[in-house]
Amino acid sequence: MTCVHTVFRLLPLFVLALPLLCQAAGPTMFDVIFARRPPLYYAEEGADGAVQTRGVVYERVRAAFAAAAIPVRFVEQPTKRVVASVRDDSQPLCAMGWFKTPEREGFARFSAPIYQDKPWVVVTRKAMHPRLQTYKTLAALLRDGHLVPSILDGISHGNYIDGLLAKARIERATIDPIQNLRKIEASHGDYTILPSDVFDFYRAQNPATTLVALVYRDVEPGEKLYLMCSKSTPDTLIEQFNIALRMQ
């Protein structure tokens, strides 16, 4: 009975896979692009000198594509280039780990959720902590135009925080989250806003850091992350991925 049950669970995946398997004699690599965001997905040099992709979300996405028998290639790109690649739709591809927003739904299609994001926190230097602590909400902090946050360009912080940032004085940074934390620690910028797990990763890698995190009561729990795919990505491929993801 166990064997029969397993066959019936996998049958929808095999049926959906047939059109893609018949398209070509050999496998075609499907690109999954991502902008560095440890500990979810990031590339780093291994002991042998080869660059390896790692991360908790990367492992889940990789396993789902493998279970769906879809050969993939993971490619790291700068944040703004990732969005442009999906928007331009020059080829079928998916970007790993993005919020679903009304704007993005206009130029992309989305998978089932791949991760529940952690709550977002404000990170600053210890010397700045007493001043930032006087504000009880993130909304109140962002109304102080004398304190300027360094905010990553090209990403969404979720609907609530994005709405606050649209009215605030901010500095846009075209770097990755870890580089942005180093920038704050070097006194280039007053604070930043990012998911708590990114700061936890940074703190584990830098035990002597002078950075601290503040949690504000008006910041909602993290939103869901998805694969954000170009419009030309076949529905069957996304559905194959979704089925394999649900089987994990």
Q: pLDDT tens digits for 33-58?
A: 999 999 999 998 877 888 899 999 99
State the chain's mean pLDDT as an integer: 91
Q: Pairing state of beta strands 171-173 and 150-152?
A: parallel
Token output for 210: 């002078």
pLDDT band at 6 (very low <50, low <70, confident <90, very high): very low
Structural domains of the chain sorted by starting position, each given as residue range(s) with its CATH number in brackets: 2-116+224-246 (3.40.190.10), 120-214 (3.40.190.10)
pTM over 0.75: yes
Under a CB-based contact definition with an 8 Å cutoff, are residues 71 and 28 in contact? yes
Q: pLDDT tens digits for 73-107?
A: 999 999 999 999 999 999 999 999 999 999 999 99
